[in-house]
Amino acid sequence: MFHPLRVSEVERLTDDSVAVTFQVPPELRETFRHIPGQHLALRRESAATGEEIRRTYSICSPAAPQGEDPVLRVGIRLVDGGEFSTYALKELAVGDTVDVMEPMGRFLLPPRPGTFAAIVGGSGITPVLSMASTLLAREPEARFCLIRSDRTAASTMFLDEVADLKDRFPDRFQLVTVLSREEQQAGLPSGRLDQERLAGLLPALLPVDEVDGWFLCGPFGLVIAAERALRGLGVERGRIHQEIFHVDDGSSPAAVRAAAIPARATLTATLDGRSGTWPVQEGESLLETVLRSRADAPYACKGGVCGTCRAFLVTGEVRMDRNYALESEETDAGYVLACQSHPVTPEVELDFDR
């Protein structure tokens, strides 16, 4: 559910990114209390088409302990041709109101004792900043190693916030920055982080098998390279958590999507305790089928990335175009992403409430 929140600060981070802070009224304090790693869906009407557009942005602020007011701050980087990010960077100002959905997502690190590490690229630092700052402040024994890659120092988001963590927790926070387009001081790596480099770099930085959780966040290529490097170093799948940003939208052409759909498929869906049955139109996702009749169907990215549209497949079979949000345990348990699902059987039933 969306809530109108007032913007209390817009801070320029780099030439192409800002951090936006929202004011949370007292009655919504619990609604907007987040777990480190979660994101917010923001909504506005397109100035060009009048259609509703939604985008998800990760929360960068530390999670507030119970009893304290939550600070809700997201990082937004300009995406080429991206209507929402252009609006956020060029127009959004203190005092404006934005529709904001409560925090969501399953890329999470609730504070707990242990050693954790993250490999991030570009704006992938955003949720990890919340994870590291919350963990180090709340767990006196916990350790965090951050490996971040960016193009240049000037394009690096949250440079000051990360430096501040290093100052505050010099013994428990380890930072390695890799710049792909800039020479660094002697001893610091530069160039692109690929699978081979990570496989060599990681064991030199920390005892890989003693890390309780790995958090990979950033562009597709980096996250996949990091996952393969970790798997190659013997890290179990269950310790690797990932979130992918900036997915290329061209990976599932409509013709391919339509090919698997039975001539007349019907979808039954339960949402907030109410059910309905509708025909699935050619080429559309099951989320789009539901949205034609139920505007309250949950979604944010429509790109298979955020997991907001997760639903339980009660009957039938579906094919997903792509899935960057659900873990294999969730798909094995029967969950699907409605925004990526197309019916394979003539009848499909989804439950959004489970």
**Residues at the interface with ligand FES (CB under 6 A):** 299-309, 325, 337, 339
Give the residue with the Cβ less far from ligand FES, 17 or 308. Answer: 308
Minimum Å distance from CB 214 to ligand FES? 22
Give the residue with the Cβ less far from ligand FES, 211 or 287. Answer: 287
Minimum Å distance from CB 326 to ligand FES? 8
Of 262, 278, 250, the residue nearest 319 (C-alpha): 262
Give the residue with the Cβ less far from ligand FES, 89 or 305. Answer: 305
Give the residue at shortest CB distance from ligand FES: 339
Minimum Å distance from CB 301 to ligand FES? 4
Minimum Å distance from CB 201 to ligand FES? 31
Give the residue with the Cβ less far from ligand FES, 33 or 302. Answer: 302
Minimum Å distance from CB 177 to ligand FES? 30
Minimum Å distance from CB 43 to ligand FES? 13
The whole-angstrom separation of Cα 119 and Cα 77 is 18
SS (H, E, C) the chain: CEEEEEEEEEEEEECCEEEEEEECCHHHCCCCCCCCCCEEEEEEECCCCCCEEEEEEEECCCCCCCCCCCCEEEEEECCCCCHHHHHHHHCCCCCCEEEEECCECCCCCCCCCCEEEEEEEHHHHHHHHHHHHHHHHHCCCCEEEEEEEECCHHHCCCHHHHHHHHHHCCCCEEEEEEECCCCCCCCCCECCCCHHHHHHHHHHHCCHHHCCEEEEEEEHHHHHHHHHHHHHCCCCHHHEEEEEECCCHHHCCHHHHHHCCCCCCEEEEEECCEEEEEECCCCCCHHHHHHHHCCCCCCCCCCCCCCCCEEEEEECCEEECCCCCCCHHHHHCCEEEHHHEEECCCEEEEECCC
Give the residue with the Cβ less far from ligand FES, 72 or 300. Answer: 300
Give the residue with the Cβ less far from ligand FES, 193 or 291. Answer: 291
SS (H, E, C) 34-99: CCCCCEEEEEEECCCCCCEEEEEEEECCCCCCCCCCCCEEEEEECCCCCHHHHHHHHCCCCCCEEE
Give the residue with the Cβ less far from ligand FES, 156 or 285. Answer: 285
Give the residue with the Cβ less far from ligand FES, 101 or 305. Answer: 305
Minimum Å distance from CB 7 to ligand FES? 24
Give the residue with the Cβ less far from ligand FES, 240 or 309. Answer: 309
Minimum Å distance from CB 267 to ligand FES? 15
Cα angle: 114, vertex 228, 194; to 5 degrees: 100
Minimum Å distance from CB 339 to ligand FES? 3
CA 294 to chain centre: 25
Give the residue with the Cβ less far from ligand FES, 13 or 339. Answer: 339
